[in-house]
Amino acid sequence: WFLQLNLKAKFKRKALREKNLREQKPNEPKDAVRHEQKLQTKQSVRTRLAFLAAAVLILAVEIYIAICVKGGFVRHYAGDVLAVILLYAFVRAIFSVTPSNLALKIFAFAAALELAQYFGAVQILGIENKILKIMIGGTFDFTDLLCYAVGCVLAGVYEKFESKNQQRRSDG
């Protein structure tokens, strides 16, 4: 009697396992989608950390330029190009999905700051904080706008290159 009961239990367990396996087959696409989402999330985290590292490195270069370089091409032009690339890298590090037209939006922000310099926003607002004064700037220069445009074009070219590479990877 005990042996008979044990065999019935074994058959029930086996039938349940088979039923579970049959039920899992339709779920395979869902599992594949979940796996793909996990891979994308992992890649997104890696990408964001890479942009954060790039932003920190560019920030260090910008600080070096501000403290040690007294004039010339690097101080007057390369620093401004790097400034918008720094903003681009920080935004990419913050958001998991790249905002559309990010380079254009960063250029608009940089241009707005340059226009604020033209109208003397630091003096009008009575800003006394030295770091904030340096960040906003004090004098308008049209060449700064050109440098911001160059930096944003470089960021936009990178964006296009990156999207083509992602498309190639997803196509197989």
Rounded to an integer, what distance in angstroms lies between the CA atom of residue 136 and that of residue 133?
5
At 133 the three-state DSSP class reads helix
The residue with greater pLDDT, 122 or 171, is 122
Rounded to an integer, what distance in angstroms lies between the CA atom of residue 141 and that of residue 147?
10
Cβ neighbours of residue 134 closer than 8 Å, sequence gap 6 or more: 66
- Is the model's pTM score more than 0.85? no
Instruction: Say what the pLDDT of residue 110 is.
Output: 96
Rounded to an integer, what distance in angstroms lies between the CA atom of residue 64 and that of residue 56?
12
Residue with the two structure tokens 């906003």: 136
The residue with greater pLDDT, 153 or 12, is 153
The residue with greater pLDDT, 105 or 169, is 105
Cα 102 to Cα 72, 75, 90, 108, 112, distances in angstroms: 29, 25, 11, 10, 15
pLDDT in tens, 112-136: 999 999 999 888 989 888 888 877 8
Rounded to an integer, what distance in angstroms lies between the CA atom of residue 156 and that of residue 77?
19
pLDDT in tens, 30-63: 666 665 666 566 668 888 999 999 999 999 999 9
pLDDT band at 164 (very low <50, low <70, confident <90, very high): confident
Mean predicted confidence (pLDDT) in 128-149: 89
